[in-house]
Amino acid sequence: MEKTETLVAAHYTTEDLLGRIARALTEVGADPANLRPDDLKPVDEFHTGGLEATKALLDQLQIDAETRVLDIGSGLGGTARFVTETYGAGVVGVDLTPVFVETALELSRMVGLEDQVTYLTGSATALPLEPDSVDLALMFHVGMNIAD
């Protein structure tokens, strides 16, 4: 990983992220053992504009169950889960921060979407994917962390 990527990943790394999310969900009345995707909405769209920005972009695109979607800088996985839940598309999320990838995997498992979404640790500038493996790529609030 290059120096900028190491600094960005370190900046976003936080301890006990999943535990903190589970406690916050419990505080607002959600049961972490029986979560629905909607229960995650308060933390799921971890980018400027939140869910409204996600919907505004997706409304301009043609996505269906056959579309293979890449979410670059997927964070906690909220956009990927929203895409698969709304359109039935398979989604691969790639994020630079390992704790975000681990948390996204677990949150997706907790809401029963682990078979529709995949998360990988990797860089937006060197994606860990085969050529032509996706039809559509999304990126929210990530470009600010890329030098060029």
pLDDT at residue 138 in the model: 93
Q: What is the pLDDT of residue 28?
A: 84
What integer pLDDT is reported at residue 146 of this predicted model? 72
Q: Are the beta carbons of 70 and 94 closer than 8 angstroms?
A: yes
Euclidean distance between CA atoms 62 and 118, whole angstroms? 21
Q: Please tell me the predicted confidence (pLDDT) of residue 65.
A: 97
Instruction: Please state, in angstroms and rounded to a whole number, the distance separating the CA atoms of residues 32 and 103.
Output: 13
Q: What is the pLDDT of residue 71?
A: 96
- 79: how many CB neighbours lie within 10 A of its CB? 29
pLDDT of residue 59: 94
Residue ranges for the chain with pLDDT beneath 70: 1, 4-13, 46-47, 143-145, 148
Q: Which of 148, 50, 75, 68 is nearest to 116 (CA)?
A: 68
Residue-level pLDDT at 32: 80
pLDDT computed for residue 5 by the predictor:
67
Residue 109 has what pLDDT? 95
Per-residue confidence (pLDDT) for residue 144, from 0 to 100: 65
